[in-house]
Structure formats: C-alpha cells, structure tokens
Amino acid sequence: MASNDLCQSTNEMGCLSAVLLDMDGTILDTTVELCSAVASAANRMVPSLSLHHSQILSDYPNLYGGPLEEFHDTIIIPHRPGLTEDEHERSTAEFIRFFLEEVKHSPPSPCFDDVLGALEGLKAKYPSLLFAVATTKPTKTAESDLTSSAVPDTLRSLLSHVQGTDAGISPKPAPDVLLRCASAIGVDIEKTIYVGDTSRDSGAGRAAGCMMTVTVQRDAGKLGDKLGAHEVISDFMGIEGAFNRWRVES
C-alpha cells in the first residue's frame, strides 16, 4: 500500500504521507551546545550572572526548545528594567548575535544513535514515506548542523526538506513551521505525524492538525511524561509501534 493512501488497517503506517521531525534534542543531541551558547551569551550581556551551562536546564526548564527571544526576555530583561521598545529590540538582537557567535565556536552536535537506523528501517518498509525537519532554528543554521562532521552523510539524504523558523514564521508552539514544511514537500498536514521532545513540539503538532504527535523521552526517569503528545517513546525505533498503538486506541 502506498504511503499516501488512507489507512486500511490499524497495523500499518500506510495512511501517512510524512513523518515531520524536530531537530534539536530529537535528531541531534544539542543540549550542551544550546545551553552553553545561551549561558555564554547571557554572561556577555550581564557578566554578574556568571551562568554555567548546566543552570539553563535546571533554572529555566520551560525555555528549552523555545525561541531565543524568550531566553532573552526571561534571563536578561530582569537585569535591564525600563527598556524602551527600541532598546528592547536592540538588546534582543544583541543576545541572538552573541548566541550565534557562540554556536559557531561550539563543536558540532552529534546525531542520536537510534535515529539513522530507525529512519532507514521505516523507509525500507514504507518506500513512499517522506521525512522532513521542522525546527526552531533558522533554515541555514539547521542545514549546517545536519551536514556537520558529527552527523552521518546518509541522514541528510533521507530528509526531503529542512524547514527552519525563518523571518515571518512564528515559533512553536505556533503551527507555522510545520505547515510551511508540509507545504514544501507537498503533503497534507493531516497525513503527517510530528516527532519532537518538548511540549512546544507537541503543541505545534496539534495546532497544525497533524494526525498524531510523538514525544521522544530518552530519559528513562521521565518516560511516562508525554508532554502533551499522543504517544511517548524512548527512542526512534519506537515510532511505528507508537503509531500502531495510537491507531488502535483511537
């Protein structure tokens, strides 16, 4: 059965046109890169903070996976009260510039071990199934990350499209980046699932109208937390099983 057909059975993924994927924390292990760059950017703007990268997750857990503007407003603005609108805009731009400078000097982030094999397995079983990335990072940065020396060359070749949150696209949990991604690869968003690792991802998937949302929770101690998604898995090998369970239960 072609992957763009409607489901005829609850035990197959034939009703899907595409699996859309978050990137940071889902495909790539970018936790250290992100937290280090945020901490360094914040320290450059407010030296008295003296943030360590480990504090980003512990002190600001709800920001992970979100836009840099929210990191700036949460961490920096309390130390810069009374900014005018123009000053706030310049401060945000400075924070983002510092962050990107820090990222450029960071070692490339590796791909999680389970990702490539799982996607290759799904592609072999469902040849018409498409894979694409919909990420918070700008497209240019995402492409660079996915083609770094730390990522197998074959991973990028499996992806039909990489869609970042570029200018004019609202960040997740808004559905914009997912809708743009689905449009780019020519599929109906209602025939896709979105795989991510944060509540912002599952929120964006639901808002976009994805058939299903999946949270990858590699921390065994948190595996029961779906973060708003329909299903939760411990690694990419569980995508098909999660889809089948959800189809049966729904």
**Is 139 in the same domain as 22?**
yes
Q: Residue 234: what pLDDT?
A: 94
Same domain, 124 and 230: yes
Domain count, the chain: 2
Task: Tokens 């894979």: give the residue.
Answer: 131
Residues 66 and 127 placed together within one structural domain of the fold: no
∠ CA 237-147-220 to the nearest 5 degrees? 30
The encoded tokens of residue 127 equal 């040849």
Q: Are residues 181 and 82 both part of a single domain?
A: no
Q: How confident is the model at residue 1 (pLDDT cuts 50, 70, 90)?
A: very low
Q: Please indicate, yes or no, whether residues 115 and 174 belong to a single structural domain of this protein.
A: yes
Asked whether residue 83 falls in the same domain as residue 170, the answer is no
CATH of the domain at 206: 3.40.50.1000
The lowest-confidence range among 97-106, 125-134, 138-147, 161-170 is 97-106
**Last residue within a domain, chosen from 75, 104, 133:** 104
> Does 131 lie in the same domain as 245?
yes
Domain range for 52 is: 31-104
Q: Average pLDDT of 145-160?
A: 96
Per DSSP, the three-state class of 161 is: strand
The model's pLDDT over 171-228, given as tens digits with 9 standing for 90+, comes to 999 999 999 999 999 999 999 999 999 999 999 999 999 999 999 998 777 777 899 9
- Concatenating the DSSP letter of every residue in 100-160 gives HHHHHTSPPPPBPHHHHHHHHHHHHHSTT-EEEEE-SS-HHHHHHHHTSTTS-HHHHHHEE
The crossing angle, in degrees rounded to 10, of helices 85-104 and 31-45 is 130
Is the residue at 5 inside a domain? no
* Residue 198 resides in a domain: yes
The verdict on 238 and 122 lying in the same domain is: yes
At a CB cut-off of 8 Å and minimum separation 6, what does 54 contact?
A: 35
Q: Which residue do the tokens 């199934």 mark?
A: 129
pLDDT at 8: 46
Q: Where are the alpha helices (DSSP H) in 50-84?
A: 53-59, 68-71
Distance (Å, whole) CA 52 – CA 158:
36
Q: Is residue 8 part of a domain?
A: no
pLDDT at 21 over 50: yes
